[in-house]
Amino acid sequence: MPVPATTTADSPPIAREVCHWMERFASAVRARDYAAGRAMFDPGVVAFGTVASHITHLDRLIAEQWRPVWENTSGFRFDPASITVHVAGDLAWAAAAWTSSGTHVDGGTFPRAGRATIILRRTEQGWLATHTHFSFNPSPSDSPRKP
Protein backbone atom coordinates (compact mmCIF):
# COMPACT_ATOMS: atom_id res chain seq x y z
CA MET A 1 0.00 0.00 0.00
CA PRO A 2 1.45 3.42 -0.91
CA VAL A 3 2.18 5.65 2.03
CA PRO A 4 2.76 9.38 2.21
CA ALA A 5 6.46 9.72 2.92
CA THR A 6 7.86 12.07 5.46
CA THR A 7 11.25 12.31 7.03
CA THR A 8 10.03 12.17 10.63
CA ALA A 9 11.43 9.68 13.11
CA ASP A 10 8.27 7.55 12.91
CA SER A 11 8.38 7.21 9.10
CA PRO A 12 9.17 3.78 7.70
CA PRO A 13 12.97 3.51 7.27
CA ILE A 14 12.75 2.71 3.56
CA ALA A 15 10.45 5.70 2.95
CA ARG A 16 13.10 7.87 4.63
CA GLU A 17 15.77 6.33 2.37
CA VAL A 18 13.73 7.14 -0.73
CA CYS A 19 13.04 10.69 0.48
CA HIS A 20 16.76 11.09 1.10
CA TRP A 21 17.47 9.84 -2.45
CA MET A 22 15.06 12.48 -3.78
CA GLU A 23 16.71 15.27 -1.79
CA ARG A 24 20.16 14.18 -2.99
CA PHE A 25 18.92 14.20 -6.58
CA ALA A 26 17.34 17.66 -6.17
CA SER A 27 20.62 18.87 -4.69
CA ALA A 28 22.51 17.51 -7.72
CA VAL A 29 20.13 19.38 -10.03
CA ARG A 30 20.57 22.64 -8.10
CA ALA A 31 24.37 22.24 -8.12
CA ARG A 32 24.41 21.04 -11.75
CA ASP A 33 26.44 18.10 -10.44
CA TYR A 34 26.09 15.61 -13.28
CA ALA A 35 28.52 13.13 -11.67
CA ALA A 36 26.44 12.98 -8.49
CA GLY A 37 23.25 12.53 -10.53
CA ARG A 38 24.88 9.84 -12.70
CA ALA A 39 25.83 7.83 -9.60
CA MET A 40 22.15 7.68 -8.59
CA PHE A 41 20.88 6.13 -11.85
CA ASP A 42 20.99 2.72 -13.47
CA PRO A 43 22.94 2.90 -16.78
CA GLY A 44 19.95 1.36 -18.60
CA VAL A 45 17.42 3.90 -17.28
CA VAL A 46 14.32 4.65 -19.35
CA ALA A 47 12.97 8.17 -18.89
CA PHE A 48 10.28 10.58 -20.00
CA GLY A 49 11.19 14.24 -19.60
CA THR A 50 10.05 17.80 -20.05
CA VAL A 51 12.37 18.29 -23.05
CA ALA A 52 13.19 14.81 -24.34
CA SER A 53 10.03 12.74 -24.63
CA HIS A 54 11.43 9.18 -24.44
CA ILE A 55 15.02 8.42 -23.53
CA THR A 56 16.82 5.12 -23.10
CA HIS A 57 20.20 4.90 -21.36
CA LEU A 58 21.83 7.24 -18.90
CA ASP A 59 24.25 8.95 -21.30
CA ARG A 60 21.32 10.03 -23.48
CA LEU A 61 19.31 11.15 -20.43
CA ILE A 62 22.17 13.42 -19.35
CA ALA A 63 22.80 14.79 -22.86
CA GLU A 64 19.20 15.21 -24.03
CA GLN A 65 17.33 16.09 -20.81
CA TRP A 66 19.57 16.99 -17.90
CA ARG A 67 22.06 19.32 -19.61
CA PRO A 68 19.50 21.45 -21.48
CA VAL A 69 17.26 21.69 -18.40
CA TRP A 70 19.68 21.86 -15.49
CA GLU A 71 21.73 24.65 -17.14
CA ASN A 72 18.58 26.80 -17.28
CA THR A 73 17.03 25.88 -13.93
CA SER A 74 17.46 27.15 -10.40
CA GLY A 75 15.93 26.24 -7.06
CA PHE A 76 14.76 22.75 -8.04
CA ARG A 77 12.98 21.04 -5.13
CA PHE A 78 10.55 18.23 -4.50
CA ASP A 79 7.65 19.20 -2.24
CA PRO A 80 8.19 16.97 0.82
CA ALA A 81 4.49 17.07 1.75
CA SER A 82 3.56 15.65 -1.66
CA ILE A 83 5.91 12.66 -1.69
CA THR A 84 4.26 9.23 -1.75
CA VAL A 85 6.39 6.09 -1.62
CA HIS A 86 5.56 2.43 -2.21
CA VAL A 87 8.08 -0.35 -1.66
CA ALA A 88 7.93 -3.98 -2.82
CA GLY A 89 11.07 -5.94 -2.05
CA ASP A 90 14.02 -4.31 -3.79
CA LEU A 91 11.83 -1.98 -5.87
CA ALA A 92 10.29 1.32 -4.83
CA TRP A 93 8.37 4.05 -6.55
CA ALA A 94 7.92 7.62 -5.48
CA ALA A 95 5.59 10.29 -6.81
CA ALA A 96 5.98 13.95 -5.93
CA ALA A 97 5.35 17.51 -7.00
CA TRP A 98 8.36 19.68 -7.82
CA THR A 99 9.10 23.37 -8.34
CA SER A 100 11.93 25.39 -9.83
CA SER A 101 12.64 28.55 -11.76
CA GLY A 102 13.49 28.50 -15.44
CA THR A 103 15.63 31.05 -17.25
CA HIS A 104 14.54 32.90 -20.39
CA VAL A 105 17.05 33.65 -23.15
CA ASP A 106 17.13 37.30 -21.93
CA GLY A 107 18.11 36.14 -18.43
CA GLY A 108 14.70 36.67 -16.85
CA THR A 109 13.22 33.88 -14.79
CA PHE A 110 9.82 32.23 -14.66
CA PRO A 111 8.23 29.69 -12.31
CA ARG A 112 8.17 26.04 -13.31
CA ALA A 113 6.12 23.40 -11.53
CA GLY A 114 5.44 19.80 -12.26
CA ARG A 115 5.27 16.27 -11.00
CA ALA A 116 7.55 13.28 -11.09
CA THR A 117 7.35 9.54 -10.76
CA ILE A 118 10.57 7.71 -9.99
CA ILE A 119 11.15 3.96 -9.93
CA LEU A 120 14.13 2.82 -7.89
CA ARG A 121 15.92 -0.52 -7.54
CA ARG A 122 17.89 -1.32 -4.38
CA THR A 123 21.44 -2.46 -5.20
CA GLU A 124 24.66 -2.95 -3.26
CA GLN A 125 25.43 0.70 -4.15
CA GLY A 126 22.09 1.88 -2.76
CA TRP A 127 18.93 2.93 -4.58
CA LEU A 128 19.31 3.48 -8.34
CA ALA A 129 16.66 5.03 -10.58
CA THR A 130 15.58 2.68 -13.38
CA HIS A 131 12.76 4.91 -14.66
CA THR A 132 11.80 8.56 -14.23
CA HIS A 133 8.91 10.56 -15.59
CA PHE A 134 9.05 14.33 -15.14
CA SER A 135 6.29 16.51 -16.55
CA PHE A 136 4.93 20.01 -16.15
CA ASN A 137 1.64 20.59 -14.38
CA PRO A 138 -1.23 20.95 -16.83
CA SER A 139 -2.16 24.52 -17.65
CA PRO A 140 -5.80 25.65 -17.37
CA SER A 141 -5.96 25.64 -21.16
CA ASP A 142 -5.19 21.89 -21.09
CA SER A 143 -8.45 21.18 -19.25
CA PRO A 144 -11.25 19.58 -21.22
CA ARG A 145 -13.87 22.05 -22.37
CA LYS A 146 -17.35 21.67 -21.06
CA PRO A 147 -20.03 21.19 -23.72
- Measured between its terminal Cα atoms, the distance across the chain in Å is 38
pTM above 0.75, yes or no: yes
Is the pLDDT at 1 greater than 70? The verdict is: no
The β-bridge relationship of strands 109-123 and 126-136 is antiparallel
pLDDT of 64 > 70? The answer is yes
Mean pLDDT for the chain overall: 90
Record: fold of 3-138: Nuclear Transport Factor 2; Chain: A, (3.10.450)
Nearest-CA neighbor of 15 among 85, 114, 119?
A: 85
The Cα–Cα gap between 110 and 122 comes to: 36
pLDDT at 74 over 90: yes
- CA–CA distance, 20 with 104 (Å, rounded to integer): 31
Span 47-69, mean pLDDT? 96
